[in-house]
Amino acid sequence: MREEDSESGFSLLEVTVALGVLTIVLGAAVAILNGFQRSSRADEIYAEAARNGRFAISRISEIIRSAGCNPTSLTSVNSATFVSFPNGSGGPSIQLKSDLDGDGRFTSSVSSNSDVIVTSEDVTLQLSGNSLQLTDNTVIGATPVTIAEDIRSVTFTDPDGTGRSIVANLTAMPTGVRWGDPNYIEVQFTSTIRLRNR
């Protein structure tokens, strides 16, 4: 009597079932990985918009705080209007004046277009498109200097009408991600800024 040949291995049905299970497991792993990547990308976009907004509101605060600077304490300067709103309170621009050299006028400027440190006695902060810009009003035809980009909106208000403090509301958006993208996230900041010498 002859023994039957016995081959060890997998049948076609066993291989098909194993491949099916492996496909399901790999598909679930890829779906989980994609979810983590989307979540990580959304967190990164939010962090970028928040950094952008924090930088912009910090620059706005620094510039507004300097309005009314009067190193010589001239009383004629202290009674001047240091803050005005070209588009009315609640608009996207604000004009700020200081007497940095103590001559009682707001006409001096020692700034250049390559420098955004405020050393002019009359400047305007305004939103132009998605850029927050600083314009030196003491120089005729001065080119505005961009101090922050990817800003969707900004408003400046004087809450009590005294010109002693300004409320800045700013909405920042992420760089490179536009409206309609599922990862588009805006971040809003509000800051109450008291003028340093008022």
Q: Span 188-194, mean pLDDT?
A: 91
What is residue 30's predicted lDDT score, i.e. its pLDDT? 92
Side-by-side strand order, sheet with 145-149:
83-84, 93-97, 122-128, 131-136, 145-149
Q: Span 82-104, mean pLDDT?
A: 81
State the pLDDT confidence band at 38, using cuts at 50, 70 and 90: confident
3-state class of 37 per DSSP? helix
Q: Span 35-39, mean pLDDT?
A: 81
For residue 22, give Cα distances in angstroms to 12, 14, 33, 180.
15, 12, 16, 36
Q: Span 81-109, mean pLDDT?
A: 79
**Distance separating alpha carbons of residues 122 and 139, to the nearest angstrom:** 9
DSSP label of 194? E
pTM of the model: 0.70
Percent of the chain with pLDDT over 70: 81
What is residue 157's predicted lDDT score, i.e. its pLDDT? 92
**Distance separating alpha carbons of residues 175 and 52, to the nearest angstrom:** 9
How do residues 143-189 score in pLDDT, each as one tens digit? 888 888 889 899 999 888 877 889 999 999 887 777 777 777 888 99
Task: Please say whether the beta carbons of 188 and 170 come within 8 A.
Answer: yes
pLDDT at 141 > cutoff 90: no
Q: Span 97-117, mean pLDDT?
A: 64
